């Protein structure tokens, strides 16, 4: 019996994997803030029978089906009295300030200002039950700590910094309007809201949901970069996910090419320097087409346009393109592994809000590691097949 229990068998490994993949959930209905929220909604004409708020081990807070939901079945029907819209804001104490302001305010700004004012009013706010269940921290990259920004993929980090700057610009460019609201924040105000009870907001199931499973909102065919940037989460196993190849990485790999600047300028003029991606099925057509053009010498300039339109290159240049794609995969994998190590280190010494940010970036990086690993294997296999075909070709000298 020596060694028994020291080595885990196949059955035990499968059992452990199944237990690790089981999604568990805990209802939030008993928590005081959700009790107040449901009472608030009920008073405004809303009832929730098919779903309940819950926390899921894989995705966090969401809505859980209490019964089997059929495709096309109505899940939620919110009367207008439950909706916080621009009409709500304009009919409130803020309306006179917004309507009389010198320049037109965006709907987004009006809604944000209303929520800030209502949070400041605390118990005097009719919307407090809703405000109390809003997140206190956010996992959208523009709110990330600087240390978390560093471990983002290059393209996401660039977009996140642009978003952060846009938020700062909204804040700084509206300082005069914010100052005009000072009387609201220093004295209690009676709020008068008008509602149209006949209108509502409905959500129906597309494909159905099994009892006790999470009901998801369909955000569309977005990759994980866009989901993270716009909604602050990553979808595990997202079939639309890709890894983006940044122009700076291409420049670094091909810096020995004296005509690189001219080639990049040509690609940019023809809109071929964006959306260069790698999926789990291999490099995208756009990426391989760009690499084929980059494989051509300056003396073949007259062929550049034809290659962008799909013309094949010679066998030698095709092999160069595949090898370069393989090198890109290796570099991106190295960057991903280094980022995951950095994330593991940061997780050991951060507070809860930063931990939530790091967790979502870790999930993104793990997804990208899987995509890059799969692509790397495909490219290696393609390269081996090409080598085998060359080795099978007869020697021209021997034939002659």
Mean pLDDT of 144-160: 96
pTM to 2 decimals?
Answer: 0.82
- Cβ neighbors of 214 (< 8 A, separation 6 or more) are 23, 25, 54, 56, 59, 62, 63, 64, 65
pLDDT at 6 over 70: no
Distance CA 34, CA 371 (A): 39
Q: What is the pLDDT of residue 73?
A: 93
For position 123, what pLDDT does the model report? Answer: 93
**For 277-288, how does the pLDDT look when each residue is reduced to its tens digit (9 = 90+)?**
999 999 999 999
Q: So what's the pLDDT on residue 7? A: 44
pLDDT at 390: 61
* In the predicted structure, residue 67 carries a pLDDT above the cut 70: yes
Q: Classify residue 346 by burial, with Cβ atoms within 10 Å: 0-12, 13-18, 19+.
A: buried
Is 387 in contact with 380 (CB distance < 8 Å)? Answer: no
DSSP code of residue 69: B
Average pLDDT (245-267) is 94
Burial of 77 from C-beta contacts in 10 A (0-12 / 13-18 / 19+): middle
Token readout for 49 is: 């029978």
Would you say 184 and 117 are in contact if contact means Cβ atoms under 8 Å apart? Answer: yes
Residue 48 has pLDDT above 90, yes or no: no
Strand pairing class (74-79; 200-204): antiparallel
Torsion angle, alpha carbons of 350, 352, 353, 354, to 10: 20
Q: Does residue 4 carry a pLDDT above 70? A: no
Distances (CA, A) of 219 to 208, 214, 223, 330: 16, 15, 10, 31
- The Cα angle at residue 399 between residues 397 and 400, in degrees rounded to 5: 65
Give the 3-state secondary structure of residue 217.
coil
3-state secondary structure 245-289: CCHHHHHHHCCCCCCHHHHHHHHHHCCCCCCCEEECCEECHHHHH
Residue-level pLDDT at 21: 59
Are β-strands 214-215 and 200-204 bridged in parallel, bridged antiparallel, or unpaired?
A: unpaired
The percent of residues in the chain predicted with pLDDT above 90, rounded, is 72
For the chain, the 3-state helix, strand and coil shares in percent, each to the nearest 5, are 55, 10, 35
C-beta of residue 81 within 8 angstroms of C-beta of residue 43: no
Does residue 292 have a pLDDT over 80? yes
């Amino acid at each position: 019996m020596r060694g028994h229990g020291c080595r885990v068998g196949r059955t035990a490994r499968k059992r452990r994997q199944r237990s690790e993949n089981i999604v568990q959930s805990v209802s939030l209905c008993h928590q005081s803030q959700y009790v107040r929220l449901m009472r608030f909604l009920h008073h405004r004409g809303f009832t929730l029978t098919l779903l309940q708020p819950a926390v899921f081990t894989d995705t966090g807070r969401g809505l859980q089906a209490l019964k089997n939901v059929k495709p096309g079945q109505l899940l939620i029907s919110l009367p207008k009295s439950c909706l916080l819209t621009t009409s709500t804001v304009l009919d409130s104490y803020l309306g006179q300030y917004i309507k009389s302001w010198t320049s037109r305010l965006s709907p987004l700004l009006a809604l944000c200002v209303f929520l800030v004012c209502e949070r400041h009013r605390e118990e005097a706010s009719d919307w407090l039950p809703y405000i109390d269940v809003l997140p206190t921290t956010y996992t959208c990259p523009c709110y990330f700590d600087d240390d978390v920004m560093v471990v983002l993929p290059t393209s996401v980090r660039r977009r996140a910094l642009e978003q952060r700057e846009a938020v700062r610009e909204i804040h700084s460019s509206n300082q005069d309007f914010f100052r005009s609201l000072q009387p609201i924040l220093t004295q209690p105000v009676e709020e008068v809201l008008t509602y149209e009870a006949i209108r509502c907001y409905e959500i129906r199931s597309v494909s159905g949901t099994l009892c006790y499973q999470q009901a998801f909102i369909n955000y569309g065919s977005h990759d994980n970069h866009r989901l993270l940037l716009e909604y602050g989460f990553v979808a595990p196993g997202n079939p639309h996910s890709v890894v983006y190849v940044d122009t700076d990485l291409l420049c670094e790999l091909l810096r020995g090419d004296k005509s690189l600047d001219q080639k990049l300028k040509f690609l940019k003029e023809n809109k071929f320097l964006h959306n260069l991606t790698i999926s789990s099925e291999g490099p995208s057509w756009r990426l391989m087409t760009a690499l084929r053009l980059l494989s051509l010498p300056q003396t073949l300039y007259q062929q550049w346009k034809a290659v962008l339109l799909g013309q094949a290159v010679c066998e030698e240049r095709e092999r160069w393109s595949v090898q370069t794609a393989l090198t890109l995969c290796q570099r991106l994998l190295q960057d991903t592994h280094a980022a995951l190590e950095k994330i593991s280190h940061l997780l050991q010494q951060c507070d809860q809000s930063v931990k939530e940010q790091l967790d979502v970036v870790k999930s993104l990086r793990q997804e990208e590691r899987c995509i890059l690993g799969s692509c790397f294997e495909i490219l290696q296999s393609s390269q081996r097949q090409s080598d085998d075909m060359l080795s099978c070709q007869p020697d021209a000298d021997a034939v002659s």
